[in-house]
């Protein structure tokens, strides 16, 4: 997010922010992290690993691969972090410390439906440029993935992942065909 010394600096010009999305060499999204990483790997290596493709027996129904689940699973299975168990670090291993803040108390999460309409309108106004940039990035990534699928002749963005992405981003105004609505549930006015 953009920030400066003045309150007016907190909102960059929408056109410049969206143009930056279109001029970037690569756009990835956390909500489509696996697919974003596959796109990056293809661009870097010129080849797409089979793990990036939707499972053949499922057609476009979905692949069960996650590049992050491999490293998390191997760590969970060993019970060790990288560098533990005799390798790495001075003295044959690394030490971990847990730091907590006893004065910090977790509060109950608010639901959007609990917020007054005036608050939702203010949040929408404050994040209008953010929503436009996210929307441009999402459309760009979806187009890049479609072009990749055309090049390799196989599905990379599987149907269940599209459904998950649509559900996770339904609040973004204009992303799924409607320019009406609001990021946070207000009227968008």
Q: Is 189 exposed, middle or buried (0-12, 13-18, 19+ CB in 10 A)?
A: exposed
Do 128 and 120 touch, CB atoms closer than 8 A?
no
Question: What pTM value is reported for the model?
Answer: 0.65
- What is the pLDDT of the chain when averaged over all its residues? 75
Kindly report, residue by residue over 39-63, the tens digit of the pLDDT: 999 999 999 999 999 986 444 434 4
Do 154 and 55 touch, CB atoms closer than 8 A?
no
Residue 110's pLDDT is: 82
pLDDT bucket at 78, cuts 50 / 70 / 90: very low
Residue 165's pLDDT is: 95
Distance CA 87, CA 128 (A): 49
How many distinct helices (H) and strands (E) make up the chain?
Answer: 6, 0
Distance CA 145, CA 35 (A): 8
Distance CA 182, CA 167 (A): 15
């Amino acid at each position: 997010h953009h920030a400066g010394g003045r309150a007016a600096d907190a909102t960059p010009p929408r056109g410049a922010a969206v143009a930056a999305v279109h001029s970037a060499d690569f756009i990835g999204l956390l909500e489509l992290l696996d697919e974003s990483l596959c796109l990056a790997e293809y661009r870097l290596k010129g080849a797409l690993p089979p793990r990036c493709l939707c499972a053949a027996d499922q057609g476009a129904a979905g692949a069960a691969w996650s590049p992050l689940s491999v490293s998390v699973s191997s760590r969970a299975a060993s019970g060790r972090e990288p560098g533990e168990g005799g390798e790495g670090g001075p003295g044959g291993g690394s030490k971990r410390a847990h730091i907590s803040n006893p004065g910090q108390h977790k509060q109950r999460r608010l639901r959007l439906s609990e917020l007054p309409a005036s608050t939702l309108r203010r949040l929408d106004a404050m994040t209008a440029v953010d929503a436009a940039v996210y929307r441009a990035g999402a459309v760009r990534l979806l187009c890049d993935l479609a072009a990749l699928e055309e090049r390799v002749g196989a599905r990379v963005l599987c149907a269940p992942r599209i459904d998950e992405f649509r559900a996770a981003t339904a609040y973004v105004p204009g992303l799924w065909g409607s320019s009406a609505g609001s990021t946070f549930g207000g009227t968008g006015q």
